[in-house]
Structure formats: C-alpha cells, structure tokens
Amino acid sequence: MLIASRSKLLFIGDSITDCGRKRPVAEGLFDPLGNGYVAQVNALLNASYPDRPVRVVNTGCSGNTVRDLKARWQTDVLDLKPDWLSIMIGTNDVWRQFDMPLFPEVAVTPEEYEQTLDALAGTTKPLLKGLVLMTPFYLEPQPTDAMRARMDQYGRIVMAVAKKHGAIAVDTQAAFDRALKHQHSSNLSWDRVHPNSIGHMILARAFLDAVGFVWSPVRREKA
C-alpha cells in the first residue's frame, strides 16, 4: 500500500465527506469521523493493517463548493500538516445550477472550478507525500441526463487536474456506474447525491483500490 505507517491522512470535501463528523477537527476517540466513507476507510485500514496504523482526519463540511474549500484551506488543510490529502468536491458546485437556477452566484462554473482546484492542488502537492483527487458523482445511470452530463464534465476536470499534478485520480462515477448496471439508484441513495452505507462502501473501496490497499491478507503477506 502506498500510504506508509503512521501517516496522517486527511479527507476534505462536502456533505458526502462530512457525514456528521465531529467539530472542529474530526479525529481521535469515540467515532469522530462521521458515518460515511471516511470512517469506513479508517476502519478498513486499521483493521487490515494493524502493523501499519494510519491517522485519519476528516474536515468535510456539508454544503461546500470548491470556493468554500479555498476559503478554509489554511485552517482545515495546511495548518493540520497531513502527509496524505484526499479531495472530493464538486457536487454542490453542480447541484446549485439545477436546484437554484435563479441564483447563479451560488453555483460554481466549470472555469472557476478548474482554476480553483488546480491552484489548491498545485500549491499543496509539494507539501504532501501523496494527493488523491476523487471525482464528484451523480447516481443517475443515463449519461444524457442534464445533471449527470454536467457532473461528468466536472469529473473530467478532476481527472485532468490530477494528471497535471501527478496526483492519484479516483473515478467515483465509474465505480458507481458498475453498481448501477445491476441495481436501481434508490438502493444506493435517496436523492442520487447522498449515498447510503452501501454507496459509501463503494467510495471507500474506490479510494482504497487507488492507494494500493490489498484486500486479501494472504496476498498481502506475499507482496
């Protein structure tokens, strides 16, 4: 696995990352990481690799766009000095274009999204041992759906920014699309945006696969 023992791994994003995590910084005792994929990643890492503990931190905030991440970047990322950083943002940047069409100022255009994410990645990557960029997603199987098409556009931006900066890219939409071939989106999310526990496990698995997590103990011992 790429994440070394005793690394600090910080996740930042919107409500999908937040998931009821503790404030101001979610880490430590009494399940502070919320009830989403961040907590699942933490459990899987530290249960499967007891000899290589990882310190997991969650600074996700519900409702955030990439604009909000930029505003709190110093306190919620840089000041915490993570070794590894995972960013998943974009859902609200897109969603506000559809659920609040009369308030364009609250949405984030593709141009602003790309410029901001690119700047955050570019300035932070040299300070890290590893950077992971996770695409936003929409649990709609039809790529012609208007919001799904726009979310895919933002996902392509994430993939391009990751490639530019040598970051690890996680295509979460592709991970969900594999599940959507066999089950309805309502089995994964009530609103096609916020995953249930199954959906969060899809996110956790996608992240862990990207960082080289070995699921079989036998295979890991031989690696």
Given the residues 14, 86, 93, 194, select the one marked as catalytic: 194
What do you get for the CA distance between the two ends of the chain, in Å?
Answer: 10
Answer whether residue 3 is part of any domain: no
Q: Which residues contact 97 (CB under 8 A, 6 or more apart)?
A: 104, 107, 150
- Containing structural domain, residue 168: 8-222
**Mean pLDDT across 120-147:** 98
What CA–CA distance (Å, rounded) separates 1 from 212? 4
What CATH number is attached to the domain comprising 28? 3.40.50.1110
Query: Given this model, what pLDDT does residue 146 score?
Result: 98
- Total tally of structural domains belonging to the chain: 1
pLDDT in tens, 93-121: 999 999 999 999 999 999 999 999 999 99
Q: What is the mean pLDDT of the chain?
A: 96
Query: Given this model, what pLDDT does residue 215 score?
Result: 86
Given the residues 15, 86, 185, 189, select the one marked as catalytic: 15
For residue 141, cis peptide bond before it (omega within 30 degrees of 0): no
pLDDT in tens, 26-63: 999 999 999 999 999 999 999 999 999 999 999 999 99
Answer whether residue 2 is part of any domain: no
pLDDT > 90: percent of the chain: 96
Pair of tokens at residue 13:
């994003």
Q: Supply the pTM of this predicted model.
A: 0.96
**Mean pLDDT across 16-25:** 97
Query: Known catalytic residue: 62?
Result: no
List, as one string, the DSSP characters of 125-146. Answer: GGG-SEEEEE------S-TTSH
Q: Which residues contact 26 (CB under 8 A, 6 or more apart)?
A: 32, 33, 34, 38, 57, 58, 59
Given the residues 5, 99, 186, 191, select the one marked as catalytic: 191
Answer whether residue 1 is part of any domain: no
Assign 216 a pLDDT band (cuts: 50, 70, 90).
confident
Query: Known catalytic residue: 191?
Result: yes
